[in-house]
Structure 1
Amino acid sequence: MFKLITLLAISLGLFLLAACGSDPTATSVPVPTAIPTATTPPDPTARPTATTAPEPTPTPVELTKLSVALDWFPWSNHSGLFIALDRGYFSDEGFDVEIFTPGDPSTVLQTVASGRDDFGISYQTEVLIAREQDVPVVSIMALVQHPLNSVMTLKESGIVEPKDLAGKKIGWPGIPSNEPLLESMLGSQGLTLDDVELVNVGFSLVPALIGNTVDAIVGAYWVHESISATNQGFELNIMRMEENGVPDFYELVIVASEDKIAEDPDVVHRFVRAVTRGYQDAIADPLDAVQLLKRLRPEVDLDIEIPGVALLAPLWATDNGVFGWQEDARWQDFAKWMVDSGRLSESTDPMAAFDNSFVAGAQ
């Protein structure tokens, strides 16, 4: 009986031992499927592997908002600004730029001087007059190297030079700087403003001319309005200002306030650098520039801007190819002309009205 119990006990033990050995899910320790790497000493020179925890995503740099007030509705002359916007030249410099046409473009110098707008486009004449009136604005770069403003008449009118304007109605946009310009043109051939009738037609210059509301227009650009009239079937006579008693001048300039220049010179420098890149692209390929402008501003009329930019692009840079540069003599001569015409006092310093340092630093 004892032997039987002993045999049964041995048999039961063997059975249990066999059962435990054949069950993979019981209490056995899991066998790793790969050789542990912890036993390998780390190489201090090794680059992190894919198993390294990912680096946190960098926080995007917040762009500084800037505003640029235009002198008029967007057209080919502004294409370099829109190139800088579209191709990221402004954002490369850390800026989020708004380019807009103010409700009243004649207020650009005031809004820039007050700090409401960071930069603006205005006229050389207006900058000098503003400074005499203690509006602290400075031209930081020339947008166009020569005059675009001109006097235009219908080809059929026979009015081809200033003396022919005697007794005629001349439409103008109401911009104050146009008066001394016209006065000098008339004066070059013995006339005065009293010999003509000025009619404020706003910016409807071409409609007023081709509709015979007026006999001539001033304040119209020979690279724009003349093409608009031609496209409508009207040939024009064009009297260029610098050929009729007015010294050569910068048609448009980009301005900043004295405070902006003094307090944020780095912002001004980076802005000028981005604008320069935009206009260098526009000079290199004017057709592409206006097509980009059309994409961003669908209201742009390519029938005017394509032929117009071919005339305009050579005026964006100096004869040696520098965009934005301003000559001392040009400011001095133009200021003297304004003094002689009674529009400016001798106390106004033309050399303080512009600053070339930012353009020089952008080349």
Structure 2
Amino acid sequence: MAHSILGGLLRDRTKQVINRLIAVFGAIAMLFGVAACGNSANTTADGLTKVTFMLSWAPDTNHIGVYVAKNKGYFKQAGLDVDIVAVAQAGAEQAVNNGQADFALSNLTNVGVYATKGAQIKQVMQVQQKPSAIWCSLASNTAITRPKDLDGKTFATFGSSESDAVVRRMIQHDGGKGEFDKVTVGTSTFQTLSSGKADFGGFYATWEGVQADMYGPKLTCFTEPDYGVPGNADTIGIIANDKTISGNPTLVKQFVQAAKKGYEYAYAHPDDAANILVKEAPDANLKPAFVKKSMHTIMDGQYWGDPAKIKDGSFTFGTNDVKGAQQYFDFLAQENAYTDSHDKVVHKAPQAKDLSTDEFLK
């Protein structure tokens, strides 16, 4: 659902995300990125604090709780006037780091990559609690039935060393060498595979996987946990910069509490939430049936946590998976996937416990 400085599937995400978003929203991203500057210091005539939330790619069900919170008035009840804006060309993480946006959707993996390059950002709420990345070939390509078959094939990539490490580990875990060619994707991995320019690429089970099931093309897919990739790569959540967290904790708590309420509503009322997303993000041209199926895939797979544990209070919705994130960080460090701001390899893994906080969830 990172990025140019990082790489990959949201993990390639910033590049995937930004390329896709630029194709869809183009100049709007630049316009909103500039308009976002300084909004948190302003108030409306009603006394609401203006806040900017930046998308990390085109609107989808990863963002849905924020749209629900705005539509249902949860932000207004918290004293906030939230402007949801398109991703800036430099990426949502950089926009938050520089103060162009107060909050954004990202994940702990991206926070770790940007922190290694000097960014001062933290994840303040984690929505997704388990990996949703899938690595797929077209089902019509009968030469690929398992990760080992990806050896010697061509990977449709967005240029991320992170995704290279993941694919290599999956192939090797399945008994292959982990050697493959690469071709850079423009805006659509589906198109790249269908054109025959590549044999496999990365998707999300909760979005592109649903798209493939409903509209085609049919895919043959493999998941990371099944083939030796440790931890949780897809710790998708909401980020803020350290200055906002330390200087205006009340604002952060107001936003997190309202957004949390929006995501919890979406988890409990998936069809209504899907209709809200379609209504609130008209430029995305989303189909209600598709968004509803995405939400039901999230629910059925318990991607946002076990509903029973959320209901009985044994799990707090939004809790950061520090353990799972750290296992994945350590894996990436072992694979030399981290680089500093000068593109020099960094061998020490970032520390998830220092890059996230649950203090605003209660």
TM-score class, shorter-chain normalisation, is 0.7 to 0.9
* Identical residues among aligned pairs (%): 25
Runs of 4+ in 1 over 4 A off after TM superposition: 190-193
1:214 aligns with 2:208: no
- State the shift of 1:308 in Å: 1.6
Q: Which residue of 1 aligns with 2:292?
A: 306
Q: Which residue of 1 aligns with 2:59?
A: 74
Classify 1:174/1:304 alpha carbon distance in 2 versus 1 (closer, same or farther; 3 Å): farther
Per-residue deviation, residues 101-125 of structure 1 (Å, max 9, x unmatched) = 2143x62111111111111112322
Classify 1:265/1:185 alpha carbon distance in 2 versus 1 (closer, same or farther; 3 Å): same
Classify 1:107/1:267 alpha carbon distance in 2 versus 1 (closer, same or farther; 3 Å): same
> Which of 321, 328, 339 is equivalent to 2:333?
339
Q: Which residue of 2 aligns with 1:235?
A: 218
- State the shift of 1:331 in Å: 2.9
Classify 1:227/1:349 alpha carbon distance in 2 versus 1 (closer, same or farther; 3 Å): closer
1:87 aligns with 2:75: no
- State the shift of 1:317 in Å: 2.8
SS at match of 2:262: helix
- State the shift of 1:163 in Å: 1.0
> Which of 243, 246, 251 is equivalent to 1:267?
251
Q: Which residue of 2 aligns with 1:172?
A: 157
> Which of 117, 121, 129 is equivalent to 1:137?
121
- State the shift of 1:233 in Å: 4.0
Structure 1, unaligned stretches of length 5 or more? Answer: 1-58
Range that drifts further, 122-131 or 286-295: 122-131
> Which of 317, 326, 344 is equivalent to 2:305?
317
Range that drifts further, 110-119 or 303-312: 303-312
> Which of 272, 277, 281 is equivalent to 1:293?
277
For 1:250 and 1:181, locate their aligned partners in 2 and report how far apart those are by CA, in whole Å: 10
How high is the TM-score relative to the length of structure 1? Answer: 0.76
Q: Which residue of 2 aligns with 1:183?
A: 168
Classify 1:232/1:184 alpha carbon distance in 2 versus 1 (closer, same or farther; 3 Å): same
Classify 1:357/1:212 alpha carbon distance in 2 versus 1 (closer, same or farther; 3 Å): same
Classify 1:63/1:143 alpha carbon distance in 2 versus 1 (closer, same or farther; 3 Å): same
Per-residue deviation, residues 33-72 of structure 1 (Å, max 9, x unmatched) = xxxxxxxxxxxxxxxxxxxxxxxxxx95321111111111
CA contact under 8 A between 1:108 and 1:122: conserved in structure 2?
yes
For 2:231 and 2:319, locate their aligned partners in 1 and report how far apart those are by CA, in whole Å: 15
CA contact under 8 A between 1:210 and 1:229: conserved in structure 2?
no
For 1:136 and 1:99, locate their aligned partners in 2 and report how far apart those are by CA, in whole Å: 22
- State the shift of 1:184 in Å: 2.4
Structure 2, unaligned stretches of length 5 or more? Answer: 1-43, 311-315, 339-346
- State the shift of 1:346 in Å: 2.5
Per-residue deviation, residues 160-219 of structure 1 (Å, max 9, x unmatched) = 3221111211112345542332232233235566x212222143112222333321112x
CA contact under 8 A between 1:66 and 1:97: conserved in structure 2?
yes
Q: How does 1:94-109 map to 2 (within 5 A)?
A: 94-104=79-89, 107-109=91-93
CA contact under 8 A between 1:172 and 1:202: conserved in structure 2?
no
1:353 aligns with 2:355: yes
Q: Which residue of 1 aligns with 2:341?
A: none
CA contact under 8 A between 2:212 and 2:218: conserved in structure 1?
yes
Classify 1:232/1:350 alpha carbon distance in 2 versus 1 (closer, same or farther; 3 Å): closer
CA contact under 8 A between 2:161 and 2:337: conserved in structure 1?
no
For 1:216 and 1:171, locate their aligned partners in 2 and report how far apart those are by CA, in whole Å: 6
For 1:174 and 1:69, locate their aligned partners in 2 and report how far apart those are by CA, in whole Å: 23
For 1:318 and 1:65, locate their aligned partners in 2 and report how far apart those are by CA, in whole Å: 33
Classify 1:103/1:259 alpha carbon distance in 2 versus 1 (closer, same or farther; 3 Å): closer
Instruction: Work out the number of aligned pairs and report it.
Output: 299
SS at match of 1:150: strand
Range that drifts further, 62-71 or 204-213: 204-213
Range that drifts further, 208-217 or 251-260: 208-217
SS at match of 2:198: coil
